[in-house]
């Protein structure tokens, strides 16, 4: 979408804006549009190209600047502003609307013979010896149709019955790789209907399922279900949480405004070279990007859509098709998303039209379906494993079987309810599926094959490790061991603490944690910092060098930033993002000990459930004692990053004035704080940094006293802070 010249100018504009922001210059109304363009540019880099140029923090600053400018100038908000994705209201119902062109299905093929047959018919019908084909992945998701009018996304619909679909525009807007506007008019296109597939990447699927499991819910079966189930969700915010993606592979309809599909010379050469039908007549350039299928994919890509531009392959004749689809099948597992085959399309649009369609499918396209990665095997046993939060997870032990190139012998079956839903019994024949690099699953049992030797699965009533009784919270599917001294939990907690995303103690690893624990050299998290290395020296496999490395890694971890420590503590529901938000909200980790659940809920990313869990953790005396111990051992419990920010000025510090000031008018005092980079807020919460108190301060002062991160200062102290001599 952008060439090098654009890149330079966007980089320059981005820097200018970031500098403006730090200087706290007001962004003038006329700059809103420019700011939107900058944000769209960075969204495209991030969501389509997977190659961001700026940090999330910098993006957030720009986004916030736009948001604030729009709040101050609501009449300037446009429907395609980057701020207009979020906050859509709840969908009450979904209207049924006709597609501009029916959404047909595809004919399927399963082998080379099927493809040869199809090619022969197409050649006969078109009187050609050889046909040019465009091949692309068959995305395994949920199909949708979008309409853009005058460059603006006006409608998104599900496939429905192919003739009519349900309007799901609000949900579609939550998918960040779908542009809210695109410059179709540059090519003279006034209205266009495009087709594509909503998919969930394998990584997003794994992450989403992990979050479901952490909440005690059953995971979703595969990325396709995760994508299709999200389209008709009532709450668009839930759709946003699923981090969906979208590929667009078909232009089903377009109409032109008065301008034809031509452009003038100002259009960059590099862009034109991408299209086959480009003619130069004197000073005029004519480009028709909609003459072949591969060009239409190029057009969509150039306009900011994720089309299979990089994945597509144009080939001459069916033999090359057969070779390519087989080659592609071999590397299907290396893709970041699921595909269930390839789609082969006649490349030339004029020829497509000549071939036409049946009532069911176009004759110019065919799907080549990959072999299903399924297998059957015997379920031999269920083992119950205890995780770091005490959750007891049943794991099915299977007769080893090959599925999609890997041997599977063990599969998590999540919880008691899941076992019941799948009707699993020990001794059952079960159907296994492996979707890409996604963890294998049991699709179903085959009760019709039972021979009387099967036995039902009894879920234990006590912890398989420490034997204390298990508990299940209301509304949860997971049984838990609540004995925090349970050995299994202790070991898992230490493993989590040293892991890469937490304290990242290199070369410590799961195996070493287990070994040290079994040898009695390590019994809890603080114990990591007091391991008796003399005893270690006598162990096989631990030479001086490995001990030195381990000691250095342990020592280095003491300087890890606070958020890593918070994440490493393994507080339920506190993932990395929440840990970062938490770390930034305090000066010292133990400040959390005096926070109420309400205080915690004020923080970004912290809802009722998370607040409750954090509060629970910091109300536990043993946990507090452990944190004191860690501090005494030299770990970083102070938020160092925040200190440097505040010592440099009042940048982003929040102020609230209360009571009667004696030297300054309230409005002048507020202006003074803002001049020095501060922000004025309207109420007392943990987001407040300074409460400036005058005479007769009342309830605000009382409330602020309870939150120990708030600095309560007098008017004179405030004047000192902003450098005004008294
Ligand atoms: S073209 C008129 N291309 O597969 C032609 N479809 O089994 C419209 N699909 O309904 C379809 N990837 O939802 C096309 N690259 C691709 C595709 C694709 C996935 C889906 C689509 C279609 C279904 C047919």
Q: Please report which confidence band the pLDDT of residue 29 belongs to, taking 50, 70 and 90 as the band edges.
A: low
Extract the runs of DSSP E, i.e. beta strands, from 234-276: 245-256, 262-263
Res 473 pLDDT > 90: no
665 included as an active-site residue:
no
511-522: average pLDDT: 90
CA of 434 to the centre of ligand 1 (A): 22
425 and 324 Cβ atoms separated by less than 8 Å: no
Q: For residue 537, what are its two tokens?
A: 């020296």
pLDDT tens digits for range 605-639:
788 889 999 999 999 999 999 999 999 999 999 98
Grade residue 484 by pLDDT with cuts at 50, 70 and 90: confident
- With bands split at pLDDT 50, 70 and 90, how would you rate the model's confidence at 186? confident
Cα distances (Å, whole numbers) of residue 317 to 129, 277, 672: 9, 21, 74
Indicate which atom in ligand 1 lies nearest the CA of residue 137.
15
Q: Which of 96-100, 476-480, 645-649 has the lowest mean pLDDT?
A: 645-649
**Test site for ligand 1: of 245, 249, 253, 309, most ligand atoms within 8 A of the Cβ:** 249
For residues 551 and 8, the model is more confident at 551
What integer pLDDT is reported at residue 24 of this predicted model? 44
Averaged pLDDT for residues 661-690: 84
Is 247 a residue whose pLDDT tops 60? yes
Q: Which of 307, 367, 369, 370 to mutate to test the pocket of ligand 1 (most atoms within 8 A of CB)?
A: 367
- The two beta strands, 441-445 and 455-456, are unpaired
Residues in the ligand 1 pocket, defined by CB under 6 Å: 104-106, 136, 138-139, 143, 195, 197, 249-250, 343, 362, 365, 367
Read off the pLDDT band of 220 (50, 70, 90). Answer: confident
Please determine, for residue 445, whether its predicted confidence score (pLDDT) is greater than 50.
yes
Res. 4: pLDDT tops 50 = yes
Between residues 76 and 242, the one the model is more confident about: 242
pLDDT tier at 673, thresholds 50, 70, 90: confident
What band does 648 get if pLDDT is binned at 50, 70 and 90? Answer: very low
Ligand 1 atom nearest residue 367's Cα: 7
Calpha distance 146→305 (Å, rounded): 12
- Quote the pLDDT of residue 653: 86
Question: How far, in Å, CA of 712 to CA of 714, rounded?
Answer: 7
Q: What is the pLDDT of residues 562-591, one digit of tens each?
A: 999 999 999 988 988 789 889 989 999 999
Q: How far is the CA of 362 from the centre of ligand 1 (A)?
A: 11
3-state secondary structure of 274: coil
In whole angstroms, what is the distance from residue 22 CA to residue 652 CA?
9
Tell me which residue of 526, 606, 522, 523 sits closest to 572, measured CA to CA: 606
725 vs 646, 651, 712, 716, 722, CA distance in Å? 20, 20, 20, 9, 9
Share of the chain above pLDDT 70, in %: 90
For 67-131, strand residue ranges (E) read: 96-98, 108-109
The rounded Å distance from CA 248 to ligand 1 centre is 10
What's the average model confidence in pLDDT over 144-160?
95
Structure confidence at residue 89 (pLDDT): 73
- Using pLDDT thresholds of 50, 70 and 90, give the confidence band for residue 260: low
Residue nearest to atom 13 of ligand 1 (CA): 143
Which of 561, 552, 543 has the alpha carbon at shortest distance from 507? 552
Answer whether residue 642 shows pLDDT above 70: no
pLDDT per position as a tens digit, 522-546: 999 999 999 987 776 666 677 888 8
Q: What is the mean pLDDT of the chain?
A: 87
Q: How far is the CA of 257 from the centre of ligand 1 (A)?
A: 28
b/e code 297-318 from CB counts within 10 Å (16+ = b): bbbbbbbbbbbbbebbbebeeb
Give pTM, 2 decimals.
0.63
Closest alpha carbon to 336 in 170, 200, 527: 200
Ligand 1 midpoint to CA 370 (Å): 14
Please say if the pLDDT value at position 517 is more than 50.
Answer: yes
The pLDDT assigned to 537 comes to: 63
**How far is the first Cα of the chain from the last one, in angstroms, to the nearest whole number?**
57
Mean local confidence (pLDDT), 402-428 = 90
* pLDDT tens sequence across 270-279: 566 666 666 6
**Which of 99, 135, 143 to mutate to test ligand 1, by most ligand atoms within 8 A of the CB atom?**
143
Q: How much distance in Å is there from the Cα of 105 to the middle of ligand 1?
A: 7
Mean pLDDT of 292-312: 95
pLDDT band at 181 (very low <50, low <70, confident <90, very high): very high
**Least reliable range by pLDDT among 147-151, 401-405, 445-449, 530-534:** 401-405
Higher pLDDT: 284 or 573? It is 573
* Poorest-pLDDT segment among 211-220, 302-311, 660-669: 211-220
Q: Which of 370, 373, 382, 375 is nearest to 432 (CA)?
A: 375
Going by pLDDT thresholds of 50, 70 and 90, the confidence category of residue 598 is very high
Where does the pLDDT of residue 352 fall: very low under 50, low under 70, confident under 90, or very high at 90 and above?
A: very high
Catalytic residue among 26, 92, 138, 544: 138
Looking at mean pLDDT, say which of 12-26, 50-64, 631-645 comes out highest. 50-64
Which atom belonging to ligand 1 lies closest to the Cα atom of 136?
15
């Amino acid at each position: 979408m952008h060439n090098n010249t654009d890149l330079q100018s966007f980089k320059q504009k981005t820097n200018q804006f970031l500098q403006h922001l730090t200087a706290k210059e007001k962004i003038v109304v006329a700059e809103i549009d420019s700011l939107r363009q900058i944000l769209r540019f960075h969204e495209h880099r991030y969501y389509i190209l997977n190659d961001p140029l700026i940090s999330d923090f910098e993006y957030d600053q720009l986004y916030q600047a736009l948001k604030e400018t729009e709040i101050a100038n609501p009449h300037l908000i446009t429907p395609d502003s980057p701020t207009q994705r979020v906050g859509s209201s709840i969908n009450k119902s979904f209207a049924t609307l006709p597609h501009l062109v029916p959404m047909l299905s595809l004919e399927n093929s399963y082998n080379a013979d099927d493809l040869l047959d199809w090619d022969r018919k197409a050649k006969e019908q078109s009187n050609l010896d050889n046909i040019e084909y465009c091949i692309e992945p068959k995305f395994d998701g949920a199909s949708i149709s979008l309409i853009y009018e005058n460059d603006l996304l006006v409608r998104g619909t599900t496939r429905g019955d192919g003739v009519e679909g349900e309007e799901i525009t609000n949900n579609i807007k939550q998918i960040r790789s779908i542009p809210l506007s695109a410059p179709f008019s540059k090519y003279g296109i006034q209205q266009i209907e495009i087709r594509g597939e909503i998919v969930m990447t394998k990584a997003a699927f794994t992450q989403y399922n992990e979050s479901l499991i952490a909440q005690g819910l059953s995971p979703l079966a595969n990325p396709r279900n995760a994508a299709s189930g999200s389209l008709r969700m009532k709450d668009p915010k839930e759709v946003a949480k699923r981090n969906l993606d979208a590929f667009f592979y078909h232009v089903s309809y377009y109409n032109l405004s008065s301008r034809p599909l031509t452009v003038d010379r100002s259009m960059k050469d590099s862009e034109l070279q991408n299209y086959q039908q480009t003619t130069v007549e004197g000073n005029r350039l004519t480009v028709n990007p909609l003459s072949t299928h591969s060009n239409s994919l190029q057009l969509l890509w150039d306009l900011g859509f994720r089309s299979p531009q990089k994945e597509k392959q144009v080939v001459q004749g069916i033999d090359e098709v057969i070779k390519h689809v087989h080659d592609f099948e071999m590397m299907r597992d290396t893709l970041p998303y699921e595909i269930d085959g390839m789609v082969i399309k006649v490349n030339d649009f004029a020829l497509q039209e000549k071939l036409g369609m049946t009532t069911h499918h176009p004759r110019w396209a065919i799907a080549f379906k990959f072999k299903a990665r399924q297998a059957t095997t015997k379920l031999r046993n269920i083992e119950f494993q205890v995780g770091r939060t005490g959750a007891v997870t049943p794991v099915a032990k299977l007769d080893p079987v090959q599925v999609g190139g890997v041997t599977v012998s063990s599969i998590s079956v999540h919880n008691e309810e899941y076992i019941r839903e799948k009707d699993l019994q020990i001794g059952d024949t079960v159907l296994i599926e492996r979707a890409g690099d996604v963890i294998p699953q049991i699709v179903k049992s085959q009760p019709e094959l039972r021979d009387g030797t099967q036995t039902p699965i009894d879920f234990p009533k006590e912890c398989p490790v420490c034997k204390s009784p298990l508990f299940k919270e209301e509304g949860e599917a997971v049984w838990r061991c609540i004995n925090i001294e349970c050995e299994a939990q202790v070991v898992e907690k230490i493993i989590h603490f040293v892991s890469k995303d937490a304290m990242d103690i290199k070369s410590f690893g799961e195996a070493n944690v287990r070994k040290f624990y079994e040898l009695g050299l390590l019994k809890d998290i603080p114990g990591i910092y007091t391991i008796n290395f003399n005893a270690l020296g006598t162990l096989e496999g631990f030479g001086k060098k490995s001990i030195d490395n381990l000691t250095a890694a342990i020592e280095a971890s003491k300087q890890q930033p606070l958020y890593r420590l918070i994440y490493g503590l393994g507080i339920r529901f506190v993932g990395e993002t929440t840990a970062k938000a938490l770390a930034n909200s305090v000066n010292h980790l133990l400040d959390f000990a005096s926070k109420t659940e309400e205080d915690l809920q004020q923080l970004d990313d912290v809802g009722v459930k998370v607040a409750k869990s954090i509060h629970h953790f910091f109300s536990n005396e043993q946990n507090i004692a452990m944190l004191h111990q860690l501090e005494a051992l030299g770990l970083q419990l102070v938020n160092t990053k925040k200190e440097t920010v505040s010592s440099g000025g009042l940048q982003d510090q929040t102020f609230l004035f209360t009571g009667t000031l004696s030297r300054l008018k309230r409005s002048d005092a507020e202006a003074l704080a803002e001049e020095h980079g501060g922000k004025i807020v309207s109420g007392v919460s943990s987001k407040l940094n300074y409460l400036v108190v005058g005479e007769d301060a009342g309830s605000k002062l009382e409330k602020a006293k309870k939150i120990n991160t708030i600095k309560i200062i007098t008017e004179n102290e405030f004047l000192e802070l902003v450098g005004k001599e008294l």
